[in-house]
Structure 1
């Protein structure tokens, strides 16, 4: 079974509000990265990915896809009122993209960002062997069935019980046929694809899952996941960056991702955002991955006039690609003018959005050079920056 015959359907159409107010849980930040971005980043290593999303979430999905560098994803399908209907819509979309009886599909919850590529490989291998396979972990608590009055009615042998996870993998033709059959029978209550397959008469093999493959449902789950990420990224690194640009005639400057009216502009091959350049170099320094000039050389015409948020976003992507976290970004502008204070919070917000972190993890400060040097003579602006990142320990 070659990679082109492996499809992954990511179910991301739910509202997920039990995790707290705000955006649906799959679009919430986890360790400075969107939950869905973390999920997509693993999925694209394991097969061709199609996400099922809510029609209102197209912009959020595009942001997650960009953060995960998941341009290879197939165009998303739109979900329906229930998970079952959303999965069915996704399967039909996959059929239109060439999935057939020779294909396997793994159906995965967007809110399980800790599933690794090895788990997907096992799921596909077991599905190829059995037609339907799901990961399960042993149950450690005693499980009791209760009656309507809340009294214990039965105690089940936990040795024979498993807590079922995703990805759940199937022969594509079998799971699509089962969903079509259930839709035709107007059965809509299945919350688990394995249960639907059992209803359709198929045996489902349960293979060993991964206890760390947790599903994010509540605020407590998010808190536990944040703690886990910190424990898995113990390598704390700090990088520094410095940049300077001279003034030229103009009517605005870009600082910290914010366009500020001014009686001069800054000279540079890109938009000359001196603060974003310094922050980019600080992250690259923490990674030990060269500098901004190495990755975006001013001799390359494609970067002429480019928005500097592209450079910072690329540096952040490099951290995430190594399984890391942006812990904090701090920048200082050195200039006599323009006044930074009125724009400080807008800069913090812009930098936080570019880096995919909360605003309380961004510092922006400003000072003058007491009219000394080129900044004191109002010939340009300098910026200093530090970046604190956390990385996993390399094997």
Structure 2
């Protein structure tokens, strides 16, 4: 069974049903039924034309549902004829589905779930496992999202920035359950890059590839987090780095800088450094300055403070940090790191412990707790002679 093929055909089949007049929620349900049937039938009897097979089965599922529902009997007059198996229209509605699933009326979590279901072809169970929630809870969330966007018309171009934000959220979910959401986000962003020519789409794809390239180095054999400066760079995927840098360079050459291109440029500078000590922090600060100009994001300013601390010394980093709100996520962790580099171990230990209490996940909490314990139990390094 080719799971990648099934997922890639999901938005295509959904688009075909949409052009035949099926509302979004009913079409999505019919496509999911067809995917389940494909999992059952294809291993023993694979079709000659998988796309046409899915369209035919999904259409039949829709007709069966429509006939069983008295409230939809009027639609039977329009959708009375069943299409014969065989080739179907080559029009690809994937881009419209991206825009529909990332509609501004949806919450970020609903937009991500609907994108994974309608465009990504994941089952409700898989999405629920990825988000560590009961399947019934995820089913309700997806059903509400489908009802919200069912009546949305697309007579004007959709917002690419919103679609990219949703895909970035998918990527940041990483891996849990039996679905690798980081890999899934890369697959969907590649698909979007084929459908729309936009430098920020390329920028996001480059950013994902460059971050994903470092994945093998982020986790130690005991499951603990490995900070960027301590990672074994031989474990990084040089193929993904090369591809990401090439995509980024092409996007930057179009001179339409956006947030994701600037973030990818920072990631590329980290990937390009043979060792942590050889990182070009001055250039990284310059890219963070661009990001501040583009987004004015407090989180970007927080990351910029770290880069300033590396480029100009920890006290310069602490000065940049002092201008920010200390309730920002990960503020105590950044402050702890900069205070430790400045030699203030007791303050750093206290801030690491505070950061651990506020950590968003278990792995990060354990890492920060170990940092606090290290400073509390080991003597400071001897001064240079």
Hey, which of these two has a bigger chunk of helix by percent?
A: 2
Hey, which of these two has a bigger chunk of strand by percent?
A: 1
TM (normalized to structure 1)?
Answer: 0.24
Higher RCO, Cα 8 Å, sep 6+: 1
TM (normalized to structure 2)?
Answer: 0.24
